Amino acid sequence: MMSKRRQTLGIQILLGAIILIVLGYTLFPDTSDEAWQKHTARFRQQLLNKKLSSIRPGGKSGQVKAAFVVLARNDELVGIKSAIQQMEDRFNHRFNYPYVFLNDDEFTDEFKQMTSSLTNAETHYGTIDRSMWGYPSHINTTLAAECRAKMQDANIIYGDSESYRHMCRFQSGFFYRHPLLKDFEYYWRVEPYVKYFCDIDYDVFQMMKDNGYKYGWTISLTEYMDTVPTLWSTTLNFINEHKHLINWGKNSLLDWITDDNWETYNGCHFWSNFEIGSLEFLRSPAYTKYFEYLDKAGGFFYERWGDAPVHSLGVALFLKPEEVHFFNDIGYKHEPLMHCPTENYLQSRCSCDPAHNFDWDPWNCAARYRDRIDREFVWDEKKYREKTNPYRIDAA
C-alpha cells in the first residue's frame, strides 16, 4: 500500500496540476493559435514598454534628458492647449517627455490645470527673472524708444513692440539658462496655435542624441533685412575677433548665409518657432561668447534682432553640416508658412496638403541649403528607415 507521505505528495501534485489547468483556462480560455498570438503580442508589448522606459526621462539607462519648452502667457491658453493636444496625439503619448512652461509673469492656476490635464507627462512652470527679461544696464532706454518709434513709422512688423524685443533676446540667449532647464540636454520648442500634421512614432530625441545632431529644423526663409541692418557687420566683427571659434572650410555651413563672398548677409535662417536642439550647444563657450557680443552691441533693442537669425548664424558659425538635421517627416505650420512632406511614404502618416508645402518657394532658403551644403539633406526612404527604425516603438 502507498504510504501516507507518498499519498500526500501525489495529492499535492494533482492539486498543482488542477490549479495550473484552471489558471490556464482562466487566463487563456481560447487555446487556438490566434488566441495564443494575441497573448504573446500583449506580453511583447509589456516587454517593449519596459524597454522604452529605459530611454525616456526617468529611465535608469540610456535616457535622454529632453523637454518641450513653451514660452507663453496666460492669455495664450487656448493656443497652447491646441498645440499640446496635437503634440500628444502625434508624438508624445508614446514617449511622455515633460513640458517646461515659461512666462514673464506668474502662471494662473487655470493655465496650470488646463495644460497639465492634456498630458500624462510631467509639467513644470517657471517665471522668468528680470535679468533675463528686461533691459541690461548698457542699454539707453530713451534711444531704444526712439528706435521703436522710427520702425513703427516705417511699418516694420513688431517695430514698435517692446515685449517682442524682450522675447527675442530671451530666446536668443537666456531660455536655456533658466533653472528649470538646467538638467536637460535637448529641447523641442512649442508655440501657441502651431499645427503638427504627421504621426511621429520614433523617439526623436534619442535619434538626435545618438546621431550627434545638435540642431533640427523644418522651415527656412530670409529675414526682413530692415529688422537686422547691423547684425551682419556685428557678426563679422565677432568673427574677426574670435577666428579660432569658427568652423571654417568645406565642412562648414558658412556658404549658406552669404551670397556675395561675405559682403552681406543673405538673410537665410531657420524659423525658430520650430526647432529641436541641443541645450549643450547653446551653453557652449562659442555660442555664449557670440550671444554676449551681440547683446553688448544693443541690436536687440536699437533694431529688432530676432532669435531666429541669431540662432541660425550661431549654427552656421559653429556647427558642421552633419550636426544639423532637416525634419522632413514632421509636418508643421506656423501661420502663414507650412512644411508638408511631399513623399508618398511620409504622406501616409500626414494630414497636410503637399500642394501648400513652402520648401521650394523663392522666399525659402532650402534650395541654397541643398546646392551649397548638402544635396541629400532631404532623406530618401531608405536612409529615413535606417536612421529612425532603431528608435521606433515597434522595433522590439
Over residues 112-138, mean pLDDT = 97
**Band of the pLDDT at 394, cuts 50, 70, 90?**
low
Copy the grid coordinates of residue 160. Answer: 514698435
pLDDT recorded at residue 63: 73
- Is 80 exceeded by the pLDDT of residue 119? yes
- Outline where DSSP puts E strands in the chain: 66-71, 99-103, 123-127, 186-190, 195-196, 215-217, 220-222, 268-270, 276-278, 324-326, 332-334, 337-339
Please give the Cα distance from 206 to 224 (Å, whole number). 35
For cell 487655470, the residue is 110
Torsion of CA 369, 372, 374, 375, to 10 degrees: 90
Q: Confirm if 207 and 276 have CB atoms less than 8 A apart.
A: no
**Band of the pLDDT at 20, cuts 50, 70, 90?**
very low
Angle at 356 between CA 350 and CA 362, to 5 degrees: 130
Please give the Cα distance from 106 to 186 (Å, whole number). 25
Residue bearing the bigger pLDDT, 85 or 24 = 85
**Band of the pLDDT at 2, cuts 50, 70, 90?**
very low
Cβ partners under 8 Å of residue 272, min gap 6: 171, 189, 306, 307, 308, 311, 312
How distant is the alpha carbon of residue 191 from its chain centre?
A: 11
Q: Confirm if 101 and 212 have CB atoms less than 8 A apart.
A: no
- Is 60 exceeded by the pLDDT of residue 52? no
- Report DSSP state, residue 322: G
- Nearest CA to 73 out of 188, 216, 170 is that of 170
pLDDT recorded at residue 70: 98
Over residues 203-223, mean pLDDT = 98
Torsion of CA 60, 42, 88, 315, to 10 degrees: 50
Copy the grid coordinates of residue 110. Answer: 487655470
Phi, psi torsion values for 216, nearest 5 degrees: -125, 140
Please give the Cα distance from 377 to 396 (Å, whole number). 28
pTM of the predicted structure, to 2 decimals: 0.84
pLDDT recorded at residue 346: 98
- Is 80 exceeded by the pLDDT of residue 28? no
Please give the Cα distance from 261 to 183 (Å, whole number). 40
Q: Give the 3-state secondary structure percentages of the chain, helix then strand then coil, rounded to 5.
A: 50, 10, 40
pLDDT recorded at residue 393: 81
Residues 250-298 have pLDDT tens digits of 899 999 999 999 999 999 999 999 999 999 999 999 999 999 999 999 9
Torsion of CA 243, 244, 247, 248, to 10 degrees: 60
Q: Among the options 88, 223, 275, 323, which is catalytic?
A: 275
How distant is the alpha carbon of residue 136 from its chain centre?
A: 29
Q: Confirm if 56 and 97 have CB atoms less than 8 A apart.
A: yes
- Is 50 exceeded by the pLDDT of residue 54? no
- Nearest CA to 345 out of 375, 374, 382 is that of 382
Let me know if 323 is a catalytic residue. Answer: no
- Report DSSP state, residue 92: I
SS (H, E, C) 26-91: HHCCCCCHHHHHHHHHHHHHHHHHHHHHCCCCCCCCCCCCEEEEEECCHHHHHHHHHHHHHHHHHH
- Is 90 exceeded by the pLDDT of residue 1? no
- Grouping H, G, I as helix, E, B as strand and the rest as coil, residue 126 is strand
Task: Find the range with the poorest average confidence among 52-56, 61-65, 381-385, 387-391.
Answer: 52-56
pLDDT recorded at residue 396: 41
